[in-house]
Amino acid sequence: MKRILLLNYEFPPIGGGGGVASKKIAMIFIENGYHVDCITTRYKGQKRMEEVDGISVYRVSIPCRNNKSVASIVSLILFPFLSLYSACKLCMKNKYEFIKTHFAIPTGPLGIILSKIFKIRNILFIYGGDIYDPTKRYSPHNNGILHCVVQWVLNYSDIIISDSQDIKMHAKQYYKINKQIFVIPLPYQKVTYQKISRELLGLEMGVKYLISVGRMVERKGYKLLLNAVSLIKDDALRLIIVGDGPQRQELVKLAGKLGLGDRVIFTGFVSEEIKFQFLAVSDIYILSSYHEGFGIVLQEAMQVGLPIITSNNGGQKDFVINGNNGIYFESGNMQDMCDKIKYLLDNNELIRVIQKNNLEKVEEFSQSRIYKVYTRLLESI
């Protein structure tokens, strides 16, 4: 059996979209006869080694990882160093077709070191925050030390893959890269869930629900979203925010301050099934992020046929087309977000068109289609 070594400092349920993405990519190779070993961070209470959906997951204890959704600076710095021993043991034991390294930092240096020691081809996957994050003062694109590390990782990896044209563009804009970047969208496997009524979810009938899913961090723009909703004086409009993160208490307080206490539902972290149950009974999905590398949550919204409102900054523009299967608002513009919410709520015909187009669009990300793209790439190199 062909084997792949997957390296990622985050892996579900730890972290956010990058961890989910790495698992999704691993699954398409498993479906096609590969075995995948994964080296990742161990969170308190987790097993050091277990099988997760066919992936052999090896977790390394990293000091100062005290939050499930967000990694501390110390844990990021330590991950490649403390994971090296476990990764070397696996490389000595198994013959790998290639290494799948996710994120230029902090995982990138680990992938390159293993690649050089064991002469294994290293494929680097870049997602966004490891290249460019406009909401972080220590984003690699404007931090001298991190910039040098990322540039070194990009140039010494054998293959670079981005999940969107936006991330490819930012990588080329901010770093001197001497090789091609291949763009391959993330695969999507439809989630099976039991549909239930709004009543069973504790929601009201006869009102409109906006919904957003994600980690409560600055980049997701939830403060902007709450302020935009507060401008819409409609008692029949509600907002559901699914997820958790370091900003949760701050956002709850802000909702109260804006007079939205009874119009906003913070579900916290929920299971995949419950997340989809909320999505299925909502009316509009809204992505308020200042920047998004790709947007897995938009594929999930497409599966249930939700119309989408999204910022115009990020990789989501590869597959959400303004006026066709979604509507853009100007990133960071609260009033424009508010106006687009009101516009879509008042346009039932456009909602029906977007719903239909999204149900069709999500089929483009099937695992079989994306696997064919990977095989063509690997065969051509």
The pLDDT confidence band at residue 1, using thresholds 50, 70 and 90, is confident
For residue 281, give the CATH number of its domain.
Answer: 3.40.50.2000
Distance (Å, rounded) from C-alpha 287 to C-alpha 325?
14
Position 279 pLDDT exceeds 90: yes
The answer to whether the CB of 41 falls within 8 A of the CB of 13 is no
* Counted domains in the chain: 2
In a domain, 194, yes or no: no
The answer to whether the CB of 19 falls within 8 A of the CB of 8 is yes
Domain hosting 230: range is: 199-364
What is the model's pLDDT at position 148?
94
DSSP code for 63: T
Position 381 pLDDT exceeds 80: no
Q: Where are the beta strands (DSSP E) in 236-307?
A: 237-242, 264-268, 284-287
pLDDT > 90: percent of the chain = 86
Same domain assignment for residues 45 and 172: yes
What is the model's pLDDT at position 139?
87
pLDDT tens for 27-40 read 999 999 999 999 99
The pLDDT confidence band at residue 239, using thresholds 50, 70 and 90, is very high
What is the model's pLDDT at position 379?
86
Same domain assignment for residues 127 and 227: no
Same domain assignment for residues 312 and 325: yes
What is the model's pLDDT at position 193?
96
What is the model's pLDDT at position 235?
86
Same domain assignment for residues 206 and 354: yes
Same domain assignment for residues 376 and 246: no
Strand 98-102 to 122-126 pairing? parallel
Q: What is the mean pLDDT of the chain?
A: 94
In a domain, 59, yes or no: yes
The answer to whether the CB of 312 falls within 8 A of the CB of 290 is no
What is the model's pLDDT at position 133?
87
pLDDT tens for 318-328 read 999 999 999 99
Which amino acid is present at 140?
Answer: P
Same domain assignment for residues 177 and 224: no
Distance (Å, rounded) from C-alpha 339 to C-alpha 355?
20
pLDDT > 70: percent of the chain = 100
pLDDT tens for 339-350 read 999 999 999 999
Same domain assignment for residues 176 and 238: no
